[in-house]
Every structure is written in C-alpha cells, then in structure tokens.
Amino acid sequence: MRGRAGRPVTDSPPAPVDPVTDAHVTAAQAGEEDAFVVLFRHVHPGLVRYLAVLCGDDAEDVAAETWTLVCRDLHQFSGGLDNFRGWVMTIGRHRGIDHRRRQRRRPVGLVPPEDLPVLADDRDPASIAEEGMSTAAAVRLIAELPRHQAEAVMLRAVLGLDVASAAAVLGKRPGAVRTATHRGLRELARRLEAAGDGPERHRSARRGRAMGSAPPESPVVSEAT
C-alpha cells in the first residue's frame, strides 16, 4: 500500500521506549551521565508527587535537594532499580520532614494539580476503584488524606513500590503500610462516591449508554465499613 507521492504506508506501531533496568543503575554508579539522566527522568516525576504530600508547593525545591544528596551518595548505594527508587524516596522523605520542621510556622499550600509532572508510568489512582478520575484530581484527594495514609497510597498506588520497599521508606512494618494503604484507598473511594465521581456512577453511565438512556442524576453512595 502506498500513500502520497508513492511513499509506502505501513501500519507498524512506533518503536517502544527502551525500559529502565538495573543496568542503568550500575552504569550511573560507574559515572555514565546518560544513564543517570534516564534514572532521573524515570524517578523524578513520582518523587515530586510524593513530596507534594509532604511539602506542598515547595516539593520541587525539596526534590532538588534530594537529588543533590543522591548524586553525593550514589557510590555508596547498593541494589537494583527498585531499590534505587526506594532509596531516593527515603532521602526525599527525610528532606521533606526536615523542610516541614523548618516551615512549621508558615502555612504550606498544596501544589496546584495542573503544575504537577506526569507520572513516570501508567499507574493512576483512578484504577484502584475503577473510576475515571483524573491523575490531578487523584493527587489532590490523596493530599487531603491523613499524612500516614497519603504517604502509603502515594508510594504503593502511584509510584508502584512493593510493600517491603514502601515500609522501608516510611520506617514502618509492612502490615502497617498495607493497613494505611487499604484505609486510604477506601477513603478515596468514599469521597469519590460522595462527590458523584465514584465507580457506581461510571458503571451506571456505561449501563445507560448501553441502553440508550442517561445515567441517574444522583450517584449511589456506599458507606465504608
């Protein structure tokens, strides 16, 4: 098949982006700048989102401090990509807590959701409860949770850290992280239902479209137990 000017037309998809692997960590530790840039681009967006929960609109500044320490101590790090992400989040958390202490007397405003960077992967808190909530709205709601729940949800559901890695970042037992994550996600789902943007509304909308009718005006709100 040929398109304009006789040029062949193909239906092949674009070449996939090379995945970030443990090899990038090893190369970065060996001094390869390109490998470190790859790691930075992979981890930084999630780091800023996580720090937004701790530091509000100072998240970018605290992230910059975090990367300064990462560069300084990279030669001491041991582990693969997942360990690296957890290590960076741990450093970021310590810097964020220090920042909060310094700024305790000054009100801290949250980062406007539209100013937050795009996630480094496809995970979106909306998928947790099967609703179409946007990532920006998700971050805004997560930031309103109690801090221990907000941190657990960000690390587990947004950044995709496993329970052990998230527990190491937070300095808590894995069971406590599971509980905080579960309660945080349940509270998010409850708030979405109360706001009329929960899973029941989206299921009703799909049923309505399938039957050729409009979705109900009032969402069904389920009480969390």
Claim to verify: residue 207 and residue 140 sit in the same structural domain: yes
Claim to verify: residue 90 and residue 134 sit in the same structural domain: no
Q: Does 224 map to a domain?
A: no
Claim to verify: residue 83 and residue 159 sit in the same structural domain: no
CA 208 to chain centre: 32
Query: What pLDDT score was predicted for residue 102?
Result: 85
Query: What pLDDT score was predicted for residue 1?
Result: 46
For 99, the domain range is: 20-116
Per the structure block, which two tokens stand in for 54?
Answer: 């701790």
Q: Does 80 map to a domain?
A: yes
Claim to verify: residue 130 and residue 210 sit in the same structural domain: yes
Report DSSP state, residue 155. I
- For the chain, list residues with pLDDT below 70: 1-17, 105-137, 196-225
Query: What pLDDT score was predicted for residue 217?
Result: 43
- Yes or no: say if 75 and 26 are a contact pair by the CB < 8 Å rule: no
Q: Does 9 map to a domain?
A: no
Domain boundary at 98, 116, 134, which?
116
- Yes or no: say if 150 and 141 are a contact pair by the CB < 8 Å rule: no
Query: What pLDDT score was predicted for residue 215?
Result: 44
* Per-residue pLDDT tens digits for 38-61: 999 999 999 999 998 888 889 999
Claim to verify: residue 129 and residue 61 sit in the same structural domain: no
Claim to verify: residue 185 and residue 206 sit in the same structural domain: yes
How far is the C-alpha of 145 from the C-alpha of 75, rounded, in Å? 36
Claim to verify: residue 66 and residue 112 sit in the same structural domain: yes
Q: Give the three-state DSSP class for 161.
A: coil
* Per-residue pLDDT tens digits for 147-167: 999 999 999 988 889 999 999
Domain boundary at 69, 86, 116, which?
116
Query: What pLDDT score was predicted for residue 197?
Result: 58
Query: What pLDDT score was predicted for residue 113?
Result: 54
Query: What pLDDT score was predicted for residue 220?
Result: 38
CATH number at residue 155: 1.10.10.10
How far is the CA of 96 from the CAs of 61, 78, 88, in angstroms? 10, 23, 12
Q: Does 3 map to a domain?
A: no
Claim to verify: residue 131 and residue 202 sit in the same structural domain: yes
Domain boundary at 78, 101, 116, which?
116
> 81-102 and 22-29 helices cross at what angle (nearest 10)?
70
Q: Does 129 map to a domain?
A: yes
CATH number at residue 76: 1.10.1740.10
What region, left, alpha or beta, does residue 77 occupy, with left being phi > 0 and alpha being psi -120 to 50 degrees?
Answer: beta
Number of domains comprising the chain:
2
